[in-house]
Amino acid sequence: MAIRRLPQHLGLSAAFLLGAISVIAGPAAVGAPQGAAPKIAVIDMDLVLKAYPHAEARLAGLTGMIEKTKDEMKALEASYAEAKARSDVAEKGTEEAARSSLDLEIARQRFEAIKEIRDAALSRKRLETSVGLWDEISEGIGAFAKAKGIEVVLRWRNTPASAGPSQKFETMQAKDVVWVDAAKVDVTAQVIEFLKSWPGPSK
């Protein structure tokens, strides 16, 4: 029986964490002089996510759940294989053959039912973890922005010069800044350093 495999690892990327979310806004420029331009900065969210020091701990629950589910499904797959082996060697038309065929069908249905339940549970856990981690990092970015007097932080992704058309298209779809003078407004490295000593979200 063909079995769909569970993911072998967790990749941290802005696409994995709520791919459609596009803007993280710092505090509004309340009380700013009328007509004054807001102070804007950009960050590469993928780099921030990968460097966030608390990410591994936040993902531990999801990682453990995936590993536990993989073990459970392997055991069920082995049970199905054993039932199939017994059914294959049973003499047709005998009571043993009928019983083996029934056992095989029960093993198949059990595998499919539990797989559906576990897939749904993993999807919920992945979504909860993704939203929680995104919100936590967003709060840290907001704290950085307040400390630096930045009023708006936009997400962007730098495209490597060697990138092919497919990678360029993917990058284009995942960023919200068409063009930027990165040397002046990209604060990714500063945010990464800030988050290393940031105490975490407020309680």
Per-residue three-class SS string for the chain: CCCCCCCCCCCCCCCCCCCCCCEECCCCCCCCCCCCCCCEEEEEHHHHHHHCCCHHHHHHHHHHHHHHHHHHHHHHHHHHHHHHHHHHHCCCCCHHHHHHHHHHHHHHHHHHHHHHHHHHHHHHHHHHHHHHHHHHHHHHHHHHHHHHCCCEEEEECCCCCCCCHHHHHHHHHCCCCCCCCHHHHECHHHHHHHHHHCCCCCC
Q: For 18-77, write each residue's pLDDT tens digit.
A: 443 333 333 343 444 556 677 999 999 889 999 999 999 999 999 999 999 999 999 999
User: Where are the chain's structural domains?
Assistant: 23-197
Q: For 118-158, write each residue's pLDDT tens digit.
A: 999 999 999 999 999 999 999 999 999 999 999 999 988 77
The pTM score is: 0.68
Q: What is the pLDDT of residue 81?
A: 96
Q: What is the pLDDT of residue 163?
A: 74
